[in-house]
Amino acid sequence: MPTLPVRPAEFHVFDTSLRDGGQQEGLNLSVTDKLKIAGYLDELGVTFIEGGWPGANPADTEFFQLAKKLDLRHSKLVAFGATRKAGAKAESDALTRALVDADTDYICIVAKSHDEHVFRALRTTLEENLEMITDTVQFLRSQGKHVFVDCEHFFDGYRANPEYALKVVQTAHDAGAEVVVLCDTNGGMLPSWMGEVVDAAAATGANLGIHCHNDTACAVANTMAAVEAGVMHVQGTFNGYGERTGNADLSALIPNLQIKYGWDILPKEQLAELTRVAHAIALVAHQPLLGRQPYVGHSSFAHKAGLHASAIKVDEMLYQHIDPAIVGNDMRMLISDMAGRANIQIKGEQLGFDLGDREQAARITGVVKAREAEGYSYESADASFEMLLRNELGVLELPFEVHSWRVFTEERDGINTSEATVKLTARGERRMVVGEGNGPVNALDGALRNALIPAFPEVAEFDLTDYRVRILDEGHGTDASVRTLIDTAYNGYSWTTVGVGTNVIEASWEALMDALAYGIMSYVHHDTP
């Protein structure tokens, strides 16, 4: 067993989702969004929340004004800025003053630590850059502020001119910075390179932090390597948001530190909220969370192979590195053509069915494999799998019976319209309904819903949230088989159904019918037709 690093007496988790995370392409956070996310981060219990750059960005200035009303119980807000301008004085620098006016106890300023950036970006001398750091830190300290200094491009600067990069760290420390953060701004580091550079910076006596970008796909690994080298402050973003390829992902970094190292980062009850918070932040940010995201992704603890399932029936931990409940996630058993009997048994148990009969489980497994070979995808459509399972067990009681359906599409005066007719029986009443739509699937959806609403008014509130079509046999062109997947939501619940047919209308009808039937069966009180 390897020797685990010892937790420093003081250790910080510093979230920069609202500042650095907001620099991601396609991510645009309003002030309201940022206030919501700050609330989630505080609820989880990160040490610091970097809110943005007051004075440089009007929205960030507004954020800090409104954030004063936040009842933060665990986290401290941090205002971000930069060293004063060359040739100026910090006390009279407008942006430095704006940092004070943000009224946070903690301020983080960025300073150049790469000599070429001093020459080309700041257009000043190496000595003046050091004076800018000293003056800014000392002024902010004189205003009663706790100051962190981000050494921008530190690792590239260290490779180019190690003496000067280290002098920047020393200067920030001597001026009164409580933490000096080594920034892999271009994200080009590798874990094996971290130790030597961090050790060199530690010789200054400064408390060190680490800020990594993910351009080598090593942001979390680099951060962990820096922690093992002795840093006491880690910066990152939730879900890895950030410029270019993003920042170190705190939703992976926090459980790595707590579960793998055994460090006291968050109380257990807060760590169990990790998945919920990660998804809540993704929802606010309008950035779908990747299913494969470690710890918090929908697929993080999903099992597909039959071999895995057989082992999991014996002990769930045989194919899981942690208990998913620790981070608030769940184990999922996927049903596909790769599934074995154990997959079906475990999935059935999760749905509340006893599949202890090996012959019965084997028979159902055979049905699933045959259907998957036809094009069905049950790992993507849990609702359709449950209906198949109920049918094979002889306990499927559909809430309605469809007698016939048809759909017509025509072009009239340059406008395409579709008309569908559905005949069915629901709660003893036979109905025929005609529906119109801007396409055949839309018309069928309208007709089916309208036929069911008199018997099940709740169907009017069923929301079709996604509709996906895939051609299964592309070699046959328009004669190819088609798979459709439909996502439906109602009253906080969501489910997915699948249909397969020789054409998109046939496949869509099957998925639509299953979607409404499953929703009624599961979430609406009903009796048989």
Strands 463-471 and 493-501, by their bridges, are: unpaired
- Report the alpha-carbon distance of residue 484 to residue 479 in Å, rounded: 16
- SS3 of 6-38: the string is CCCCCCEEEECCCCCHHHCCCCCCCHHHHHHHH
Per-residue HEC secondary structure of 115-172 comes to: HHHHHHHHCCCHHHHHHHHHHHHHHHHHCCCEEEEEEECHHHHHHHCHHHHHHHHHHH
The pLDDT assigned to 479 comes to 47
CA 331 to CA 324: how far, in whole Å? 6
b/e per residue, 28-58, with b = 16+ CB within 10 A? ebebebbbbbbbbbbbbbbbbbbbbbbbeee
Spatial strand order in the sheet of 482-490: 463-471, 482-490, 493-501
If the chain, 529 residues long, is cut into consecutive pieces of 10 residues, what is the mean pLDDT of each piece? 89 98 93 96 97 95 95 96 95 96 98 97 96 98 98 97 98 98 97 97 98 98 98 98 97 97 94 94 89 85 56 59 87 55 66 74 80 79 86 89 92 82 94 90 93 95 91 55 91 90 92 95 72
Question: Structural domains in the chain?
Answer: 12-285 (3.20.20.70), 302-374 (no CATH), 400-523 (3.30.160.270)
Q: How many CA atoms lie within 13 A of 226 on its CB side?
A: 30
What pLDDT is stored for residue 478 in this prediction?
44
pLDDT score, position 476: 45
Place of tokens 């910076």: 201
pLDDT for position 374: 82
What integer pLDDT is reported at residue 361 of this predicted model?
A: 78
- Two tokens, residue 283: 């929802």
* pLDDT at residue 351, as a whole number: 72
| Beta carbons within 8 Å of 472's beta carbon, 6+ residues apart | 375, 480, 481, 482, 483, 500
Backbone angles phi, psi at 495, to 5 degrees: -155, 160
Q: What pLDDT is attached to residue 477? A: 44
The 10s digit of each residue's pLDDT in 140-199 is 999 999 999 999 999 999 999 999 999 999 999 999 999 999 999 999 999 999 999 999
